[in-house]
Homo-oligomer: A and B are copies of this chain.
Amino acid sequence: MKHVAVIGVGQTKFGELWERSLRSISLEAGIRAIEDAGIEGREIQALYIGNMSGMFTGQEHLSALAADMSGLNPIPTVRCEVACASAAAAFRQAYLSLLSGQYDIIMAAGAEKMTDLMGSGVLTTLMGAGDQEWEGSFGVTFAGLYALMARRHMHEYGTTQEQMALVSVNNHKNAVNNEYAQFRFPISVDDVLNSPIIASPLHLLDCSPITDGAAAVIMATEDAVKKLKIENPVWILGSGQASGQLALHDRESLTKIDSTIVAAKQAYEQSNLKPDDINYAEVHDCFSINEILAIEDLGFCKKGEGGKFVEDDKINTEIKINSTGGLKAIGHPVGATGIRQIIDIVRNIRDRGGIGLAQNIGGSGATCVVNILGDNYAK
């Protein structure tokens, strides 16, 4: 099998970017990635872009827009969408397309402008990630769905609100030094527990925010990496993706996300790695409970012990989880997050070597994409 590496990364600041448009942030992320790779735009042969919903800005066909604005025509472009996992899906499609032998260098990106609402409200738009007909139309929001999962996890395993709060506390602490993060200030457990309840047991500070942002990476086959004389390639060691029930009421359990378990198994098997081998993990903490579910479902601890894992600070000592701030503090532009996670893994590996894992979830877990990257595919 061929080897594929990330050779360039770029992103915008994440936040409420009132003065920026969807095209403007997409363009910036792409240009930064091209500059970081040290290549010319004309060397890029295809573009995949994650973007969750045209309901935010009214703009579909974003992949063609991004190629056009970046002067990348006439390369083929595709927008990939699996809700909040759209960007990781774009990354994986770029990977598969490079493996196909049809391309040597591809840009994978993600972008979402959530503050410019053309149509429905943000919560209505986001419910498009769940079962609009059987969940959304009855009024549930995503905070509500994850609150059900949190409550059940507390019931089955004794997980506490303090443990969930510690997820947010840790992520805010980690974001302080992240120049791209939306929230660069520390918070305390009391801050979380005293913040307004959004959907019990989840407080405001258990929830990731509404965010604008874009992120892009350049990916290349091993032959292209050599030809371009790239000095710091970060290799894809394993990639997995899986689907699960869209609606919560169809699942056998609310305390695990099957798609994560299956996608992680694929990625571990392909890379011949175990959870113990992972140095850095970017996990999908759209709500604090989901970081705990991820820690368990990715195999970093046993099912039910995720809360304790956080409480014992193993998210810093045994493995670095969301070491740049996670969705909670960096922000969560839904269609861009998956590539932002890859970028943070790449930056960690460039700085300190080792192996990183990114887990990106769509909806309440109907999609999960897991990618494992490392500084050396031969290890």
Residues of A within 8 A of B (CB): 1, 21, 23, 47, 52-55, 57-61, 63-65, 67-68, 72-83, 89, 92-93, 96-97, 99-102, 118-120, 124-125, 127-133, 136, 240-247, 250, 258-259, 262-263, 362-363, 366-367, 369
For residue A97, which residues in chain B have a CB less than 8 angstroms away from its CB? 93, 96-97, 100
A60 to B52, CA, bound (A): 7
For residue A127, which residues in chain B have a CB less than 8 angstroms away from its CB? 58
For this chain, the copies found in one complex come to 2
Please give me the residue from chain B that is nearest to A81 by CB atom. Answer: B79
Q: A75-B242, A246-B64, A262-B74 are in contact. Are A58 and B132 (CB under 8 A)?
A: yes
For residue A61, which residues in chain B have a CB less than 8 angstroms away from its CB? 81-83, 128-130, 246, 362-363, 366-367
A60 to B335, CA, bound (A): 12
A65 to B128, CA, bound (A): 11
For residue A77, which residues in chain B have a CB less than 8 angstroms away from its CB? 82, 243, 367
| Contact yes or no, A65 B131, CB < 8 A | yes
A82 to B65, CA, bound (A): 10
Q: Can you pick out 17 interface pairs between chain A and chain B where the beta carbons lie within 8 Å of each other?
A: A53-B54, A58-B136, A59-B132, A59-B133, A61-B81, A61-B82, A61-B130, A68-B243, A68-B250, A72-B243, A74-B258, A76-B240, A76-B241, A76-B369, A77-B367, A81-B81, A96-B102
A242 to B78, CA, bound (A): 10
For residue A128, which residues in chain B have a CB less than 8 angstroms away from its CB? 54, 58-61
Tell me the minimal C-beta distance from A46 to chain B in angstroms: 8
A128 to B65, CA, bound (A): 11
Please give me the residue from chain B that is nearest to A240 by CB atom. Answer: B76
For residue A67, which residues in chain B have a CB less than 8 angstroms away from its CB? 243
Tell me the minimal C-beta distance from A161 to chain B in angstroms: 29
A83 to B78, CA, bound (A): 10
Please give me the residue from chain B that is nearest to A98 by CB atom. Answer: B100
Q: A102-B96, A119-B55 are in contact. Are A80 and B83 (CB under 8 A)?
A: no
Which of B78, B246, B262 lies in contact with A65, CB distance below 8 A?
A: B246
Please give me the residue from chain B that is nearest to A76 by CB atom. Answer: B241
